[in-house]
Structure 1
Amino acid sequence: MQTTALRYFLAVARDGSIAAASGRLNVAPSAISRQVANLEAELACPLFERRPRGMVLSQAGELLARHAHQVLSSAEQVVTEIRELEGLWRGLVRVACTDAFAVDLVPSLVAEFHGRHPGIRFELSVLPPAQVTHRVIQGDADLGITFSLEPSADVAVAYRTSLAMVALCAPDHPLAGRRLIGLTDVAAHPVALLPRDTTLRTILDAACAAEGIAIEPVLTANALSALLPFVRRTRGLTLVSSIALQGEVERDAFRALPIQSRRSLARGIEVQTMRDRRLPRAVQAFLTALVAALPRVEG
């Protein structure tokens, strides 16, 4: 089996259609269809179930997908090891992370790393937490940085800790001088929040319910970057992980206010890699820099 055919096959499996895979790979649909048909002919069985809403892997397709990931990962590893003979002059680091880490933390670390190793390239994907983990498991990301409510046995965890939730406000906000606030203080001001299907809202809503407090956001958006202008230009607040905009807080663009509540507002975060994979040298070097920038794990 050719690696090109396996790569096209996995793209169709991931995207659910030949047309979607074509758009992602920038390859003609006919070429992808031909490679998939050749694989099915070679194996003498269908690899997909053709359904009205897209293509779903058959039982044989599931088996081939697992094999294909191993083959392509091994091929990539060989290429990487050859390139690494040049040290950290060249390389690619693929990072998947949630929105909270993409606004400030990861871009700042990439900029610092680029200053030391300008030949290393980066690809950053911003995704919901579960999709970050899925990208790592599938080998589509070298590193995943995500909030985790439940541990996954399918990834290796390079770093794990819990981070408190803080209220973010403008430097001239009435609460800006407070060292500690409560959920009642949050509820008394305009609030901009992420949607209810996020880990932040799950934990926040449970804490509010425990205290009988209702927080109705003025603005709801699925990207933290869309909430920040509201916070800057109003007497509003948003809630974020304590590390999410640490650089912005240090530059005095915002104030971060610790929140006291009856129920913990902490969320677990993980830096994930593919289980049993030896990381390329550039990825390992960036992972070391990333973990060094995160809060120190005690114990």
Structure 2
Amino acid sequence: MHARILTYVDEVARQGSIRAAADKLNVAASAISRQIKSLEDEIGSPIFNRQPRSVSLTAAGEILLVHIRETLREMNRTYALIEDLKGLRRGEVAVALMSGLSGNIVPRVAMQFRNANPKVLVRLQLMTTPDEMIAAVAEGEVDLAIGFDFPSRANVRQLAVAVAPLGLVVSTSHPFAGRSSVRLSECFDYTFVVPDSTTVIRPHLEQILAQSGKGPSNFIETNSIEVMRHVVMMSDSVTFLTPFDIETEAAAGKLSFVPVQDLARETQRLVLLGPERNPTALGSVLAEYFKAAMNRGNAHGGHLE
């Protein structure tokens, strides 16, 4: 009913005549006139100046028409989204991701979504920096982006945030595996596998080592979280990641996450980004899958903000 009166006002303004609008909409002119009079009574001001054969907008009508046309555009876009959801038409949805998530939450969620929507192409794009990923969402190159510690930016919106603890990651054969916790100083006898300066986790690690006053004697440095995981699985090296980074390997019994007493307050924020306005229907559906997966991560020590 609300949509009907908005349509009446919009068409009368376009045609400059209640009768012409009635002919265009196939509605009785008296019905349109009655609805407009009711709306004028409600807002306490005339919308149209009435002449014998035509009408024109009043100042109040001009203001109201801007709102009406914005509302109708949004309503039409909403109807289109609902139609997309009804049949989930053929199409594609794109996600930008950080490398640390390439073997865990992202492929798992992508397959869950794909199994439920087999006609949709899911495109996963590995990107190296938060700024690159944010720009891809803002410019419509991808529907969603998922990664750690995104800074706030215009034209994007945080759809979900899960806070995860940063801790020690070792192979399940390592002496520390199974421990309830360790101190950072206990780790210095082992080779550290560390992320390089291009990664978002590096500032966390630098802060930790600066606070300790000392550090390990041996390092392996890489820009790949995937390499970090594999080196640790193949040796007695140690690294520092979140439970989200090792989800698959932990489930397979290949890696262990051990809380570090010195890092009790060190966390990373896993963030799902979407566009500030006009998300696609498929992007919105896929976002719900990611939100559910991020919520399940709570069982591994993370929590949604």
Same-fold status (TM-score > 0.5): yes
Alignment length (residue pairs): 222
Rounded Cα–Cα distance in structure 2 between residues aligned with 1:224 and 1:263 = 22
Per the TM alignment, residue 196 of structure 1 is displaced from its structure 2 partner at its CA by: 2.3
Q: Counterparts in 2 of 1:22-37, with a 5 A limit?
A: none
In structure 2, the partner of 1:3 is none
Q: Counterparts in 2 of 1:101-250, with a 5 A limit?
A: 101-127=101-127, 128-148=129-149, 150-215=151-216, 218-250=219-251
Rounded Cα–Cα distance in structure 1 between residues aligned with 2:264 and 2:258 = 17
Structure 2 residue 293 is the aligned partner of structure 1 residue 293? yes
Rounded Cα–Cα distance in structure 1 between residues aligned with 2:240 and 2:85 = 45
String of CA shifts for 1:157-179, please: whole Å, max 9, x gaps.
10123221122211111111211
| 1:83–1:91 CA contact under 8 A, matched in 2 | no
Per the TM alignment, residue 272 of structure 1 is displaced from its structure 2 partner at its CA by: 0.7
- Please give the secondary structure, in 1, of the residue aligned with 2:209: helix
Rounded Cα–Cα distance in structure 1 between residues aligned with 2:270 and 2:85 = 34
Rounded Cα–Cα distance in structure 1 between residues aligned with 2:226 and 2:261 = 25
Q: Could you say if the C-alpha distance between residues 86 and 143 of structure 1 is closer, same or farther in structure 2, counting changes exceeding 3 Å? A: same
In structure 2, the partner of 1:73 is none
Q: Could you say if the C-alpha distance between residues 84 and 286 of structure 1 is closer, same or farther in structure 2, counting changes exceeding 3 Å? A: same
Runs of 5+ consecutive residues of structure 1 not aligned to the other structure: 1-76
In structure 1, the partner of 2:12 is none
Q: Could you say if the C-alpha distance between residues 209 and 133 of structure 1 is closer, same or farther in structure 2, counting changes exceeding 3 Å? A: same
Q: Could you say if the C-alpha distance between residues 280 and 298 of structure 1 is closer, same or farther in structure 2, counting changes exceeding 3 Å? A: closer
String of CA shifts for 1:39-65, please: whole Å, max 9, x gaps.
xxxxxxxxxxxxxxxxxxxxxxxxxxx
Rounded Cα–Cα distance in structure 1 between residues aligned with 2:118 and 2:151 = 37
Rounded Cα–Cα distance in structure 2 between residues aligned with 1:199 and 1:248 = 21
Per the TM alignment, residue 151 of structure 1 is displaced from its structure 2 partner at its CA by: 2.2
Q: Could you say if the C-alpha distance between residues 290 and 272 of structure 1 is closer, same or farther in structure 2, counting changes exceeding 3 Å? A: same
| 2:155–2:277 CA contact under 8 A, matched in 1 | no
Runs of 5+ consecutive residues of structure 2 not aligned to the other structure: 1-76
Q: Could you say if the C-alpha distance between residues 285 and 190 of structure 1 is closer, same or farther in structure 2, counting changes exceeding 3 Å? A: same
- Please give the secondary structure, in 2, of the residue aligned with 1:243: helix
Residues 135-144 or 87-96, more deviating? 87-96
String of CA shifts for 1:33-87, please: whole Å, max 9, x gaps.
xxxxxxxxxxxxxxxxxxxxxxxxxxxxxxxxxxxxxxxxxxxx89x86983771
In structure 1, the partner of 2:87 is 87
Q: Counterparts in 2 of 1:67-78, with a 5 A limit?
A: none
Rounded Cα–Cα distance in structure 2 between residues aligned with 1:215 and 1:291 = 37
- Please give the secondary structure, in 2, of the residue aligned with 1:244: helix
| 1:89–1:119 CA contact under 8 A, matched in 2 | yes
% of aligned pairs identical?
19
| 1:169–1:231 CA contact under 8 A, matched in 2 | yes
| 2:198–2:223 CA contact under 8 A, matched in 1 | no
Per the TM alignment, residue 238 of structure 1 is displaced from its structure 2 partner at its CA by: 1.9
Per the TM alignment, residue 235 of structure 1 is displaced from its structure 2 partner at its CA by: 0.5
Rounded Cα–Cα distance in structure 2 between residues aligned with 1:142 and 1:203 = 29
String of CA shifts for 1:120-153, please: whole Å, max 9, x gaps.
1111111222211121112111101122263223
| 1:169–1:237 CA contact under 8 A, matched in 2 | yes
Task: State the TM-score, normalizing by the size of structure 2.
Answer: 0.66
The runs of at least 4 consecutive aligned structure 1 residues that moved more than 3 Å come to: 80-83, 295-299
Asked which structure has the greater CA Rg, the reply is: 2
- Please give the secondary structure, in 1, of the residue aligned with 2:201: helix
In structure 2, the partner of 1:29 is none
Per the TM alignment, residue 89 of structure 1 is displaced from its structure 2 partner at its CA by: 4.6
Task: State the TM-score, normalizing by the size of structure 1.
Answer: 0.67
Q: Could you say if the C-alpha distance between residues 248 and 262 of structure 1 is closer, same or farther in structure 2, counting changes exceeding 3 Å? A: closer
Rounded Cα–Cα distance in structure 1 between residues aligned with 2:82 and 2:289 = 23
Per the TM alignment, residue 209 of structure 1 is displaced from its structure 2 partner at its CA by: 0.7
Rounded Cα–Cα distance in structure 2 between residues aligned with 1:126 and 1:225 = 12
